Amino acid sequence: MTALHEYERLECTGLWRDGPEGQRREVIVSFGDATLVIAETKSGRALTHWSLPAIVRLAGSSLPARFAPAPDADEELEIDDEAMVAAIAKVHRLIEARRPHPGRLRSILLGAGLAAVLGALVFWMPGALVRHTAASLPFNKRQEIGRMALADLTRLTGIPCAAAEGQEALARLHGRLLGPETGGEIFVVPEGVDRSVALPGGIVVLSRSLVEAPDTPEVAAGEVLAADLGVAEADPLVALLGNAGLRATLTLLTTGDLPQRAVAGFGEVALQQPAPALPDKALLDRFASAGVRSSPYAWSRDPSGESVLPLIEADPFRDRTPERPVLDDTDWVALQGICGG
């Protein structure tokens, strides 16, 4: 049924004519099953039935309202009853809502596609731009940005320890573990760092406690190796640029320069960011290739040994001595005193 149940008994009077030259007659207008019934006022005899879906309202929105059974029909009906006019309009709205709208699905799909594109621009593009920028920078620029990050970090850790003999020992430790051709530097800071922090440009920052408390340089060496390995899992330059923001990243990408203010506050991020979880196999391979025992590092990480058992039991030098010591005794003593002179 097209007509609504609430209008099944709705009636009113109206003026109807059967053609342009016909005389207007007073009629009774009522809702039928799917039609508007126009009947004589005295006899009640139906004069015509108009299909509700086909009825059109002629020009004008004021009362009395004029209707026709079709756009090109000769008949015309004039109604001044507001309830009947509203009922016809409501039926038309219901019919329009139920009618298929081929373009509506296209619009919905287009809107969804645009929303997806905008979502990609908002959520994916900044991260992609940061990763692209980080991957495209040469090492010397990464090292320059790493130095800027170190300067910001020293607000929280203090100036890196700088005893001359200790710095020479650090340089030899870096060459021993990472190779002189790789670039980068190792720094020891007096406070604020629990273990180690990796910064862009191959810069590794070590806690003072790592060189003063252990009996062997292998603990500090293990932290350097783990920090260097972790860079492959979580590039610190990506974290720095993500903190700096899209505008600073675009400036770096287009001009090759990163303003110092863009690095402000990264020290807190670097200290609070947890170190990436490294697979035991990758760590053991790294220790083996560097010629460093893994068990001293493991015991320093967890004195109970429970969480680092593979690094202890599978120590590549558990039953043999590395070909070269991490540092000789003189350098080790110098490194232990780097913050005291």
In the prediction, which pLDDT does 236 show? 92
Strands (E), the chain: 11-17, 25-31, 35-40, 46-51, 56-57, 65-68, 76-79, 185-189, 196-199, 203-207
**pLDDT at residue 120, as a whole number:** 45
Q: What is the pLDDT of residue 34?
A: 77
Q: Is the pTM of this model over 0.85?
A: no
Residue of 195, 273, 290 whose CA lies nearest to 234: 273
Calpha distance 59→56 (Å, rounded): 9
- Predicted local confidence at residue 30, as pLDDT: 87
Residue 146: which of 9, 294, 266 has the closest Cα? 266
Dig out the tokens for 258 from the structure: 């990163």
> Which has the closest alpha carbon to 3: 46, 47, 53, 39?
53
Phi-psi region of 256 (alpha: psi -120 to 50; beta: other; left: phi over 0): left
Q: Give the integer Cα–Cα distance in Å for 167 and 161.
A: 8
> Which residues, 6+ apart, have CB-to-CB distance to 281 below 8 Å?
none
Sign of the four-CA dihedral 49, 55, 56, 57: positive
Structural tokens at position 73: 């029909």
CA dist 111 and 94 (Å) reads 25
Per-residue pLDDT 10s for the chain (341 aa) are 445 666 667 889 999 998 888 888 899 998 777 788 889 988 888 888 888 888 888 877 788 888 998 888 889 999 998 888 888 888 878 877 766 656 655 655 665 555 544 444 344 456 788 888 888 889 899 999 999 999 999 999 999 998 999 999 999 999 999 987 778 899 999 999 989 999 999 999 999 999 999 999 999 999 999 999 999 888 999 999 988 888 888 888 888 889 889 999 999 999 988 888 899 999 999 999 999 999 999 999 999 999 999 999 999 999 899 999 999 999 999 999 999 85
Task: Determine the pLDDT at residue 99.
Answer: 64
User: Hey, what CATH topology would domain 5-98 get?
Assistant: PH-domain like (2.30.29)
Report pLDDT for 307: 92
Between vectors from CA 24 to CA 22 and to CA 27, what angle results, nearest 5°? Answer: 125
Q: HSE-up of 279 (CA within 13 Å, CB side)?
A: 5
